[in-house]
Structure 1
């Protein structure tokens, strides 16, 4: 939660810095980067809200918890990034068709500050997101990574244009809008990857075969388990839900079946701390099957 608040405040400050300097000095890539940051404010607010919702306990209306709220926020951030990429690309193309403008060192300084700031935020938030297994915090981290790309391109574009002015290289005059186009492609790629991951989780795509095999091995280590009829698992935001059907001797009592179910849940949760719910169905098994 603290990581998202820090990200929100940083995005507000950087939006004002980059758009202000970009408008004052006519830097298209800095203006585009500032607009991208404005979109980040909306995305960060969504991440903050979803993080609060996802931590709510299960209730009658949401018996499996609220974990997917973070996935919805991640998908929303992906849409924001895609729209920002399209806007940056469009604006840069328009600038490329206009006469080149003289660059100033102040936009370069602003771009360098943004680059270092966003790089530090990315390292911090991705570490917290992985530690807490929070999709919303990770989405915020990847949003910062997109800003790192944007700021790096701005530094290179503005720096190249400034160097060209001093060295007499006319071809560098359009370094600013060209950098903006490169940024738009990088941000769009990141948005597509984030969107795909979010859609996979929302559509309840199964987890990796390696993880399922680990669960199956742990269950078969229990002596009463004679047959694996089915095992499925899906991500539900920052946790995993497992659905398993196994065969046990048909003469076992209900009490024995109940105890075995509890053992199955225990062993799966112990082998993967991301699992919070295991739904067990017991089928009868007879000698000779």
Structure 2
């Protein structure tokens, strides 16, 4: 199961990498040949995506390495680091797109062409298909690097949609004599920069939360707690917490069991707790349990 999830995640990232290379060439060529600021900006954004996807690919490979003496908890956070790197790439891309669009606003409107519109439309459809594919794989494998790649594709969907709208408005403005519409291209670029900034913030916030070892959502903790309470020998739950470590979860808990139990009985209870939680949630790879003595009459 773990091997299959790893293979699916790697395949999704490889497909994304090849697609980003092809789309970057198409967008930059069309943007330069037909002087389209929004398409040129989108092409530069795609070039940044190549770097981000390579980082995601590398981190996905590293994160699947088993624990060793230097990394006893595994290498799962390599994916989180890559996710944070993607957010930085998106911020830089958003700032560049915004700056180029503002510069274009202060220059005479260029002559629009149908070719950039076709290139933007192809990119929109291509990126939407990639987003749907990678978000499904990312959620199925809980791979932070694949999820970051998926959201990077979503940013490209925004950019391509704005490019289609901006170039389309420019063509309509030239045809119908709408002076304001001839600046639809750079206006769309500014909107794209804001959308990409928002997406970068969301990816970066999630990465920081995991690196700071924030607790998993309350409903997940409640689920674990209910599983533990269903075990007869558990008399008290003193503490339960869990944290994401990249694509997997680690659970820490302290529970009370009858104080007269032997070490063997305590060991069997710990194993039962671990099996209950790991069978119920395939993302959990480690459950660390501390047993406290409980005696009749205690709260």
| TM-score scaled by length of structure 1 | 0.99
- Given the alignment of the two structures, is residue 23 of structure 1 paired with residue 35 of structure 2, yes or no? no
Aligned residue number for residue 38 of structure 1? 47
- Given the alignment of the two structures, is residue 220 of structure 1 paired with residue 220 of structure 2, yes or no? no
- CA distance in 2 between counterparts of 1:126 and 1:220 reads 34
- CA distance in 1 between counterparts of 2:237 and 2:230 reads 12
Q: Deviations over 1:57-111 (max 9, x none)?
A: 1111111111111111111001100110011001100110111111111111111
Specify which of 217, 228, 241 is matched with residue 208 of structure 1. 217
* Structure 1 residue 143: Cα displacement: 0.4
Specify which of 176, 181, 192 is matched with residue 167 of structure 1. 176
Unaligned segments of structure 1, at least 5 residues: none
Which runs of structure 1 show a deviation greater than 6 angstroms over 4 or more consecutive aligned residues? none
Aligned residue number for residue 249 of structure 2? 240
Aligned residue number for residue 147 of structure 1? 156
* Structure 1 residue 271: Cα displacement: 2.0
* Structure 1 residue 225: Cα displacement: 0.8
- CA distance in 2 between counterparts of 1:43 and 1:162 reads 33
Aligned residue number for residue 252 of structure 1? 261
- Given the alignment of the two structures, is residue 14 of structure 1 paired with residue 20 of structure 2, yes or no? no
- Given the alignment of the two structures, is residue 98 of structure 1 paired with residue 107 of structure 2, yes or no? yes
CA-based RMSD of the aligned residues comes to 0.8
Q: Deviations over 1:185-207 (max 9, x none)?
A: 00000000000001000100001
Aligned residue number for residue 199 of structure 1? 208
Aligned residue number for residue 184 of structure 1? 193
How many residues are matched?
Answer: 289
Aligned residue number for residue 57 of structure 1? 66
* Structure 1 residue 287: Cα displacement: 1.2
* Structure 1 residue 170: Cα displacement: 1.1
* SS of residue matched to 1:248: strand
- Given the alignment of the two structures, is residue 288 of structure 1 paired with residue 283 of structure 2, yes or no? no
- CA distance in 2 between counterparts of 1:209 and 1:17 reads 46
| TM-score scaled by length of structure 2 | 0.95
